[in-house]
């Protein structure tokens, strides 16, 4: 009489194991999916502009990246802000020299 509950629980456990194994198999990528390592090593033949998203050729993309990395003009600060920065730098210098 004790064998029936043991047998039914054993069958139930095996069924749950099979279900959990099949769920793991679903989580794997499909066979035709290109691995990330391969995608990382491919040469880009088309690109999109970071400004407006329009398609660019590789030469246009490189030129745009170079143009974006060059500073066009240094930022202009008012004389009051420059004076405050000077005072902060002076204070920092005094703090490094003076222990108090």
Give me the tens of pLDDT residue by residue for the chain, a chain 100 residues long: 455 677 777 777 777 776 666 555 566 777 888 888 888 887 777 788 888 888 888 888 889 888 888 877 777 889 999 999 999 999 999 988 887 6
H or E stretch covering 48: strand 47-48
Distances (CA, A) of 33 to 30, 93, 94: 5, 59, 62
pLDDT at 30: 78
End-to-end CA distance of the chain: 87
């Amino acid at each position: 009489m004790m064998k029936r509950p043991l047998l039914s629980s054993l069958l139930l456990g095996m069924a749950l194991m099979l279900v959990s194994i099949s769920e793991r198999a679903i989580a794997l990528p499909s066979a035709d999916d290109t691995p990330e390592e391969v995608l990382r090593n491919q040469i880009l033949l088309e690109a999109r502009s970071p400004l407006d998203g329009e398609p660019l050729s590789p030469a246009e993309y490189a030129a745009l990246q170079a143009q974006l990395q060059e500073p066009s003009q240094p930022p202009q600060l008012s004389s009051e802000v420059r004076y405050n920065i000077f005072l902060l730098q002076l204070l920092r210098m005094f703090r490094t020299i003076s222990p108090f």
